[in-house]
Structure 1
């Protein structure tokens, strides 16, 4: 057994043996903040056809909106994890929710490309500080052996945020209009910021704070996190599973369904709802039957990575529009496999010492968003280059997505664990 594993077990033993009173309330408010962040993150994917008209933009400019939003999220993942370990989740989550509210308001009132970009960047900043800090709450308020399941449950809550950003958001845009819909979302988000600062506490009363994170140099923390094979394996699992899911739900799903597959905006929203529901089911399966078991987790994430690559290959290789049953299966698989991305944080928690849990989650979370930024930009460029017909343009544009999926699956294989008689748990 390595010294790293000994350190990990020693620190985790300081966590509460059972969830103390108020644990579910504190985590629940944090998860509600993540729910709202996922709503704002995915809102442009559903509103993309309306955004093309409002901002008088083409596909490449629309891709820039989302790529900048996700790019800001990506850049801030490591700082988010470090702040979770050093400042505590309460302040960081509250500040992130405020940024989401302001970003939504700016996006609502803007009619120019510059204003739209500013709004999406603010949303990316707020979103960046949600997930890793909610996971930090889980690490502080729940026993170590429940961390993987709570992480998967957090992902499930986020999936519900995706659901609200599909059919309900489409209905609101058509019934209330752009300004009312996004200003209303900003107002509700601001109310949640008040609730967060009032309810969230960094740790249970009486739990001694682990101060190792404050005494360790940032560079040393990051080197220790990246050195773990489990961190690298989890990075590539998130790279594949979350990256492809974000490609569909944050931007290109609705335009692909309307222009290349021939559906109306409302029907496209309902189909994306199916993808979001698949994400919820995938998160539930991951949390109940896979989380907490290192070897099973790595085999499962590699298997679903290959499965979703097959789904994307089908989209690319199918001549013409996909038959509805095939399309339904493809979107369900993309969503279900996306839910498996939550296991990457179980892997990060298993591989790293407790006082580095925020940094480890931040590093792993970079994987999916790096893939998403790359695919958002490349898909937009290829669509502009190929032009029409739309069905052919999207088939070519999705080829780079498949390439990245296969590269990520290869990374998982290279950094798979070497499991022996002794387990990290």
Structure 2
């Protein structure tokens, strides 16, 4: 009996030790993960966090990322104040030139969490007047070998009313931590595009710091035809009238988001309409995704239908920024988008004519730490007068020594 009791006690002690070891191991692992995520260790994100997300199908991973931002389960990026990066564009003060492009937070669910991540401005949408499901699934495809993404979401949206209710709970324009843009789309089956966009301006004008008219998504049939001169002239006149008729003193600037796949004539027509005196928009977003497929693509998903973003879009988007800056003679502020993964990428778009820059696909591959890294690298490149920076800075942009980021906008077009 005594021997049995001894064995029982020994067994209990053994089980307790195993339990303690497991608890210590799990606790240690959680602390390790927590510290790496809190301190925004980008290598940890690249090696562990993002590969885990990539085990999920892209749309599921996207939804989880939005939920994490919604509940602020994201690392906080405490950017140091920098007069070098601070810029006033569209009569708005931006802490840095770096923002989040539309397409991530389509329905305005996670704005404050995204502000927490360190973006100077966040653009939600595209939002359509009526709710619509978008295109059939699957409709998002990673291209890991190319650091790109193909999507054909097709303006899946909760609709004006639901998104407006969410955004109305945020502090009003001028009192937020960062700038909020609302990207507007049209319903797939709508036959009155002027009504759809004008309704969006009227709905979101009071809550947005700026508005974007998206006429360049390749995933809504006929949408890109609105970039033609006749249709565009009619649309701009209507949306500017809608904005100017908003009650009160808050009249948000309106930007036009265009495609990178435009012909030279199309670009000239857009520049002509944009510069037309009277009913004018306030800026351009260059660019949306591309329907072209570079021959260098290696991923098996390269032939999927939809818009291509990320690294494969970078050169085309930057060239389109440069073209539109030159055609508008630098008189229209441009937000540059497409393939920005580093401070160097962002700086190239700024030198090409972008006053501000947005990212999206790089967030998919590198996670929240990419915001801090790109911001820091931009500042280094703008200073770029210290010899120790030389190995990290391309010779073409070395020793610029700009006092403000605004001084660098469009310098490549003035050479």
* TM-score, length-scaled by structure 2: 0.28
Of structures 1 and 2, the larger Rg is shown by 2
* TM-score, length-scaled by structure 1: 0.28
Instruction: Write 1 or 2 for the structure with the bigger share of strand.
Output: 2
Instruction: Write 1 or 2 for the structure with the bigger share of helix.
Output: 1
The one of the two structures with greater contact order (alpha-carbon pairs below 8 A, sep at least 6) is 1
